[in-house]
Amino acid sequence: MSVTPEQLVQSIHGSGTRLVLAVTGGGSGAIAQLLEVPGASRTVLEACVPYSEPAMIAWLGGRPDQSCSEPTARAMAMAAYLRYAEKGSGLFSAKRVLTFFSLAGVACTASLATDRLKRGPHRAHLAIQTGAMTISQSVGLVKGRRSRAEEEAIVSCLVLNAVARACGLEQRLETGSRDDEPMEEAGVTAPTPWQDLLAGRVEAVQQSGPTLPADRSARVVFPGAFNPIHAGHRRMAEIARERVGQPVEFEISILNVDKPPLDFLEIQRRPGQFSPDQTLWLTRAARFEEKSRLFPGATFVVGADTLRRIADPRYFGGDATACQRAIERIVARGCRFLVFGRQEEGRFVGLSDLDLPPQLRVCCEDVPASEFREDTCSTDIRRAEPP
């Protein structure tokens, strides 16, 4: 059903959905249109334009691989959603309580016509995040067909249409795009365990693999982003299994200290890399202190770079005391670390190269380069892929 922008925004304001918006590179006109129509205070919790690189890093909580990409749009929408999902109804009066399913994060990152030569395509990526679903949309605009203002008008319409969809509305604006500029879309409605994990109602979900005794004397846990999993990861798991004599349990945290949070599309994709007989946990354990609480007595499989961060106060807001106490809790829970060397800035860094607190170092076992060395990393693999 086609409507005017004002009619659509009126319906949005009457939908009962609360919105957090983040747009960069294009689509800011949608924010203005939402605020120009009376009733915006019922709808818009916050709108942000993280235009510069530092602003984007601050919004996401980490540096994206590419500023204008479908994964970055999804990460922006998830970051928008989490800004208020985790604050709960304390922000509102008893008569206007924010419920979990009435909140949506909507985001757009675009690369449009500019006053300088642009090598890449003109495109926009949008995403919607709620407590139950993730949706992404991508559209390419034919280069040279329109002015910057005309491309901006299209993207702003796309953002308003995404907002309308997030609000459960059927109405849509005519965007002005043509048949040779199709939209690609992906989406997933999350199963209840994933929704509970995102909402914080549970701390961990076993995604695959056999049920293992919780009280066994030894266990091996391999935490990672696995984005993507590669031969180095598989060899590390094999060495860990041989050394400890226990099957390896993989763990992916949907939250991370220095990376964007995972959305439902990403949560769906990454487990698909593992076979059904491999034990995989999805958790909310961003730090190893939290992982040690979920997996007491575990031997954690880590790279030297990860182990360094465990002892770095920067990952505790610069609080050296908090960092020290976290290490003490990890040690008290009987956890250990099997440490694999990593290639960093042209040199191989192993356990012996790290400056660690003595109580952390004694919990570590080194895997020498003669036994394992893999210079390929997931980041390099992702950056080699086309945008």
Cβ pair 22, 77 in contact under 8 A: yes
For residue 95, the model assigns a pLDDT of: 38
For residue 251, the model assigns a pLDDT of: 97
Per-residue pLDDT reduced to its tens digit, 190-241: 999 999 999 999 999 999 998 776 666 679 999 999 988 999 999 999 999 9
Cβ pair 115, 244 in contact under 8 A: no
Q: What is the mean pLDDT of residues 349-378?
A: 90
Per-residue pLDDT reduced to its tens digit, 244-271: 999 999 999 999 887 767 999 999 999 9
CB-based contacts of 365: which residues, under 8 Å, 6+ apart? 243, 299, 336, 337, 338, 339
Cβ pair 27, 108 in contact under 8 A: yes
For residue 376, the model assigns a pLDDT of: 72
Does the pLDDT of residue 78 top 50, yes or no?
A: yes
Token pair, residue 385, equals 């892929």
How far is it, in rounded angstroms, from Cα 50 to Cα 32? 16
Q: What is the mean pLDDT of the chain?
A: 90
The band of 89, judged by pLDDT with boundaries at 50, 70 and 90, is very low
For residue 99, the model assigns a pLDDT of: 44
Per-residue pLDDT reduced to its tens digit, 140-177: 999 999 999 999 999 999 999 999 999 999 999 999 99
Q: Which domains does the chain have, with CATH numbers?
A: 5-189 (3.90.950.20), 193-384 (3.40.50.620)
Cβ pair 108, 56 in contact under 8 A: no
Helix (H) / strand (E) containing 123? strand 122-129
How, if at all, do strands 133-141 and 183-189 pair? antiparallel
For residue 215, the model assigns a pLDDT of: 62
Q: What is the mean pLDDT of residues 299-325?
A: 94
The band of 323, judged by pLDDT with boundaries at 50, 70 and 90, is very high
